[in-house]
A and B are shown apart, each in its own frame.
Chain A
Amino acid sequence: MLKNRIIPCLDVKNGRVVKGINFVDLQDAGDPVEQAKIYSDGGADEICFLDITASNENRDTIYEVVKETSKKCFVPLTVGGGVRNVEDINKLLNCGADKVSINTAAVQDANVVVESSKKFGSQCIVVAIDAKKNGDKWDVYTHGGRNNSGLDALEFAKKMEDSGAGELLVTSMDRDGTQIGYDIDLMKKISKKVNIPLIASGGVGNLDHMVEGIKEGNASAVLAASIFHYGTHSVIEAKEYLNSKGIPVRI
């Protein structure tokens, strides 16, 4: 039986972790390679790096990070943040990323998704959708949540599936950082709309939120940063809890 995945996410800026694990003794708390290795040794099903480097001159730092991580971690590695075009995707894959997540570029030009999924295969193309509820619908935001594209999140999700995305990483901007749980309604609706796997993100504060994301939101995988970052729970604790609630996980 296919297992639901738990994906810890590390925010990386200028090649250094800015939101990672801070509850274990680390030789270098800012080293993304060391942190990724701790997660993969601790049972993470995948690792996600979100590059939040703001300046263009430091963009290349992420490539080194990915290169070193892929030599040490033998679980899938997803990298997102600042991916602009097919060439960026190519570079990340060549450095050892297994999947690349595309956000703003996919909204601006769906052809980036069409071309990259044709060139590299749908299996490595993840479209990250940042959605915020406005009235009774969700709008897709770009540029790290700063700009409202005006696009309907459900329609956009379908369009991305049709364009060749292999997975959708759906983040509720209303819930991100709140620790009050995923936006289940959003996850459920998108999951029903598409036939590709959905990774739920934004708002996890406790392990029951993960259970809800999978059972009610129909997510194939749950992504979380804070809950692991602040040491509230380890990945293996999360898995054991999900398992006790009847959710199939890899233990």
Chain B
Amino acid sequence: MKLSIVDYKSGNISSVINSFKEVANDKVNIEVTSDIKKISSCDKVVLPGQGSFKSCIEALNNISGLVDELNEFAINKKKPLLGICVGLQMFADVGYEETETKGLGWISGKVSKIDNQNGKYKLPHIGWNEINIVKDSKIFKSIENNSHMYFVHSYEFIPADNKVISATTDYSTKVVCSVEKENIFGTQFHPEKSDKTGLKLVNNFINL
């Protein structure tokens, strides 16, 4: 099995790489790449993302052919893809961080700032929060409801169709923290930094 972690020069992805290497056994060949040929021939893709929605989209677009290849991989070939943090947010049609920016449009919806209720909630939402699993998702196999995951973000993905939501977390509102649409998976939290529970999720994705 070949798994690609997309390195599109946006933010720090060493923690993502470390966690996948920790979990993967010799059967999994992990490649950290932005090479569209390599992505095209692999079985699974991880799309990390740090920084702003706008900067991540721009960084993706800066690599010629990358967005087309990801579209081909996730939408046409329907191979498993996991987006993490802004990686998940980019699934949306549009994001409003810094300025209005068009997303990948894989899962209809928008990305807006979490309502801090006039300062009642500090932003970024940083730390460990419980996830409420609302849909049996393959990536939650043997992960208990109300498990803790590590979050760090100020913006939230609001999907148009609630059916894609697999987990939420309580912070000001019910923040969508995990989605699943056919072969496309995403987590707003960071499984790579969520201790043993997070590594379980990484393992579940590898074993899909």
Instruction: List residues of A whose CB falls within 8 A of some B CB.
Output: 1-5, 40, 45, 70-71, 74-76, 93-98, 119-124, 166-167, 195-197, 220-221, 250
Contacts and interface: CB of A to CB of B under 8 A. Distances in A.
Given A70-B14, A123-B152, A2 B195 contact: no
A121 B194 CA distance: 19
A6 to B, nearest CB: 10
Contacts of B12: 93-94, 96-98, 120, 124
Contacts of B125: 2
Contacts of A121: 11, 50-52
B19 A123 contact: no
B15 A70 contact: yes
Given A45-B128, A74-B198, A74-B199, A120 B50 contact: yes
A197 B192 contact: no
A245 B113 CA distance: 32
Contact of B193 (A1, A98, A119, A220): A98
B144 interface: no
A5 B153 contact: no
Q: Is the interface of B mostly helix, strand, loop or mixed?
A: mixed
Interface stretch (B100-108, B116-124, B134-142): B116-124
Contacts of A96: 12, 14-15, 18
A98 B195 CA distance: 14
Contacts of A120: 11-12, 50-51
- Top 6 closest A-B pairs, CB basis? A121-B51, A93-B12, A123-B152, A96-B14, A250-B128, A250-B148
B122 A197 contact: yes
Contacts, number: 98
Nearest to A95: B14
A220 B195 contact: no
From A74, A167, A195, A197, name the one whose CB has the most chain B CB atoms within 10 angstroms. A74
Interface string B1-44: 00000000001101100110110000000000000000000000
B204 interface: no
B152 to A, nearest CB: 4
A74 B122 CA distance: 24
B200 to A, nearest CB: 11
Nearest to A99: B152
Nearest to B196: A74
A197 B124 contact: yes
Contact of A195 (B21, B122, B151): B122
Nearest to B194: A74
Interface string B122-164: 1111111110000000000000000010111110000000000
Contacts of B19: 74
A5 B129 CA distance: 10
B15 A1 contact: no
A71 B128 contact: no
A31 B126 CA distance: 29
B173 to A, nearest CB: 13
A220 B127 contact: yes
Nearest to A45: B128
B139 to A, nearest CB: 16
Contact of B150 (A76, A119, A196, A221): A76
B68 interface: no
Contacts of B18: 70-71, 74, 96
Contacts of A3: 127-129, 148
A75 B193 contact: yes
A40 B52 CA distance: 29
B93 to A, nearest CB: 22
B128 A40 contact: no
Contacts of A75: 150, 193-195
